Structure 1
Amino acid sequence: MPKQSVKPSVAELRPVVHPEGVKDRRSGEHWAGRLYMREISLRCDRYLVNTRITPNQLTYLMVVAGVLAGAALLVPGLAGALLGAVLIQIYLLLDCVDGEIARWRKQTSITGVYLDRIGHYLSEAALLVGFGVRAADVFGDGGPEWLWAFLGTLAALGAILIKAETDLVDVARARSGLPAVKDEASVPRSSGLAVARKAAAALKFHRLVGGVEASLFILFVAILDLVRGDIFFTRLGVAVLAGIAIVQTLLHLVSILSSSRLK
């Protein structure tokens, strides 16, 4: 374990908790982490590395923050959307901090990785389900319109399946006695599909069903609703995210099957 001081400096922490390549992982690092959250988490690490708080406990707190973000969307109006976005930022911060503390203490584990993945599944699904229930207007005078809750749940299912499709590649390879997949294997063997994949990656529309992006999208449509005076844009947003989730689930499956990831 690195030599500890009462409160290690950012300079002491950085090479250990942010080893070379950690911010450059193709699918393992969120753009918000690279842009600002990794720098914020470094400052938080200073106060946590010498406490009794374990990395797994921080992961549990991450899950709580993510699930509460979905519940916060039940608060009507802009306040609920703003609270949800703030809680997702806390969720992202804890997602950075838990791994950084584990690296500093040399406490990285398979259990920690597993809990982290489960946390992402639960939190992002909770946010999208909460968005659907918000659009259903459960506290409205006319009674809830459950179609919107269904669409939000459909978006949540799609978001989970997209992650599962990626994770199950390594499960399938491990059960076949193969090593983990390499980045270059993700390129489709068909040139046409490769071009389509690059176009989709450039547009990045699929990111809207991710936790951070979805929370900002929800906040944006809440502002539009405030101006309009109803929840038209929230309902439109739920329909858009459900459509994106369904299309992306199918495209991602085709992309995996047409690549060398299962070879």
Structure 2
Amino acid sequence: MILAGWGMSATLLIPGIWGPLLAVLLSQLQLYFDCCDGEVARWRRTQGPKGIFIDMVGHHTTEALLPIALAFRIILGNEDDTSSGLDYQMLFIGALVALMLVLNRSLSLMVHAARGMAGLGKLPDTGEARAIPATTLIGRLRRAARFLPFHRLLHAVELSLLILAASIVAAFLSQPGTVEGWLLWALLPITLFVNLGHFVASMASSRLSA
């Protein structure tokens, strides 16, 4: 699963639409392995904290590498541009998006870590445990977000599809790197907003109540 996830970023360095197309195929392969590895471990009775830890490392690194690889792809597509300032700018934006993606995943783990350090029990992985009262403002906003679940675009599978769509448009317009650059810039405010919403929702939920 980890190798398939890392391979997604590596294939983005292939010019044209073939790189993103391979990334989408690898994302499906990664999803397949991710759905199977836990079941195989339980069947073989080899499940344990090490496997969970490695699974988390795989997801965090996969999603962090994608925007950085996208930034390199943009730089390679704009190879005629002699401005090194643009290259550093793209890499910086890619690194910020990568940081926001890792932080978004880590916020959920921080809730469990905080509960453990406070001596509280483990929460069940159910919707009821994550629920926020619908009568509150945060609860209403969270329910409204279900009709526009743009936060799902930040997962590896959906993100690879966005990159493929951007590369197709770029190939049609004969502007390699430009459309992908627009996508990278758009991801920055989206990831910032999702992290803010995730933080506020966590603070407003009962999961952090003593």
Does the alignment reach a TM-score above 0.5? yes
Kindly tell me: are residues 139 and 232 of structure 1, through their superposed partners in 2, closer, same or farther at Cα, counting changes over 3 Å? closer
Partner of 2:35: 96
- Structure 1 residue 138, shift from structure 2 partner: 6.6
2:88 maps to 1:146:
yes
Which runs of 5 or more residues in structure 2 are unaligned?
none
Aligned to 2:198: 252
1:1-263 mapped onto 2 (5 Å cutoff):
62-137=1-76, 140-143=79-82, 145-182=87-124, 183-189=127-133, 191-230=136-175, 231-263=177-209
Residues in 2 aligned to 1:201 and 1:111: alpha-carbon distance in whole angstroms: 34
Q: Indicate if the aligned counterparts of 1:135 and 1:149 stay in contact, CA closer than 8 A.
A: no
In structure 1, runs of 5+ residues without a counterpart are 1-61
Greater CA deviation, 139-148 or 170-179?
Answer: 139-148
Which letter maps to 1:238?
A: L
For the 8 Å contact 1:208–1:241, the answer to whether it is kept is no
TM-score (norm. length: structure 2): 0.89
Structure 1 stretches of at least 4 aligned residues deviating more than 3 Å after TM superposition: none
Which stretch shows the higher mean deviation, 136-145 or 96-105? 136-145
Who is 1:20 aligned against? none
How many residue pairs match? The answer is 202
> Could you list the per-position Cα deviations for residues 200-245 of structure 1 after superposition, in whole angstroms to 9, with x for gaps in the alignment?
2321101111100000110111111110001322111111112211
* Whole-angstrom distance in 1 between the partners of 2:71 and 2:122: 36
Amino acid at match of 1:154: L
Using CA pairs under 8 Å that are at least 6 residues apart, name the structure with larger relative contact order, 1 or 2: 2
Amino acid in the other structure paired with 2:115:
R
Contact 2:15 2:77 in 1 (8 A): no
Measured after TM superposition, the shift of residue 79 of structure 1 is: 1.2
For residues 207 and 117 of structure 1, the distance between their equivalents in structure 2, rounded to whole angstroms, comes to: 18
- Does the aligned pair in 2 maintain the 1:155–1:209 contact within 8 Å? no
Aligned-residue identity in percent: 34
Task: Give the letter for the 1:187 counterpart.
Answer: A
Counterpart of 1:53 in structure 2 is none
Provide the secondary structure at the position in 1 that maps to 2:90. helix
- Report deviation, 1:186: 2.4
Q: Deviations over 1:242-263 (max 9, x none)?
A: 2211111111001101111111
Give the Cα separation in 2 of the matches to 1:261 and 1:150: 34
Report the TM-score when normalising by structure 1.
0.72
